[in-house]
């Protein structure tokens, strides 16, 4: 065997080693990049959880209607289908539909519609709220927490969020 043949084989072995190593690293890099980037959200709806509820025409003027917030819950890499995450009160006021969280800002109890339908109340600690969600009485440190709404294809959608309880300012929980 000549020296040139041996040098040629060594060069070929080096080239194969470099090419094989690059292919192996590339094969590892793609799933790693997907794994790292998977939880990242993009676009205008970052942090938004728009939930479709009911048809807008099902709401009567000034009559609050309680709706369940049911949607898929996502964490970094898994999805739970049709989980009830909470509820909201919907109220039609002309062409506008407003939504309020059913969670009392005082201690997190469920806010109910008053018997006369003229406002809301927390039966546990006697907080009372006007039909506009404003605090009237009781230990609640703030008004009812409002939620953004929109109409899409005739359905009311709510931008669902949860808020910290027991504090005077409305602070969203991440």
Q: Are residues 100 and 28 in the same domain?
A: no
Q: Are residues 81 and 143 in the same domain?
A: yes
Has residue 163 got a pLDDT over 70? yes
CATH number, residue 76: 2.102.10.10
The 10s digit of each residue's pLDDT in 11-65 is: 878 888 888 888 888 887 877 777 676 655 444 444 557 899 999 999 999 899 9
**Distance (Å, whole) CA 37 – CA 40:** 5
Does residue 58 lie in a domain region?
yes
The mean predicted confidence, pLDDT, of the chain is 84
Q: Are residues 78 and 122 in the same domain?
A: yes
**Distance (Å, whole) CA 42 – CA 134:** 35
Does residue 172 lie in a domain region?
no
Does residue 74 lie in a domain region?
yes
Q: Are residues 80 and 131 in the same domain?
A: yes
Decide if 128 contacts 138 (C-beta within 8 A).
yes
- Domain range for 22 is 1-37
Domains of the chain: total: 2
**Distance (Å, whole) CA 95 – CA 28:** 54
Closest by Cα among 137, 142, 57, 77 to 103 = 142
The dihedral region occupied by 85, where left means phi > 0, alpha psi between -120 and 50, and beta the remainder, is alpha
Does residue 171 lie in a domain region?
no
Does residue 164 lie in a domain region?
no
Q: Tell me the β-bridge partners of 88.
A: 67, 101
The 10s digit of each residue's pLDDT in 65-97 is: 999 988 887 777 788 888 888 899 999 998 899
Q: Are residues 132 and 69 in the same domain?
A: yes
Does residue 44 lie in a domain region?
no
Q: What is the pTM of this model?
A: 0.69
Does residue 151 lie in a domain region?
yes
**Distance (Å, whole) CA 82 – CA 119:** 30
């Amino acid at each position: 065997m000549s020296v040139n043949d041996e040098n040629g084989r060594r060069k070929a072995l080096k080239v194969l080693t470099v090419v094989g190593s690059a292919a192996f690293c590339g094969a590892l890099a793609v799933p790693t990049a997907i794994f790292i980037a998977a939880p990242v959200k993009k676009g205008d709806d970052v942090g938004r959880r728009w939930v479709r509820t009911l048809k807008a025409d099902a709401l009567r003027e000034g009559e609050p209607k309680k709706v369940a917030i049911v949607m898929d819950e996502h964490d970094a890499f898994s999805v739970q289908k049709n989980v009830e995450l909470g509820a909201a009160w919907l109220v039609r006021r002309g062409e506008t539909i407003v939504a309020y969280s059913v969670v009392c800002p005082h201690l997190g109890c469920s806010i109910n519609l008053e018997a006369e339908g003229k406002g809301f109340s927390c039966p546990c600690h006697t907080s009372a709220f006007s039909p506009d969600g404003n605090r009237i009485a009781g230990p609640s440190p703030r008004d009812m927490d409002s939620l953004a709404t929109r109409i899409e294809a005739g359905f009311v959608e709510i931008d669902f969020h949860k808020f910290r309880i027991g504090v005077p300012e409305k602070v969203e929980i991440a």
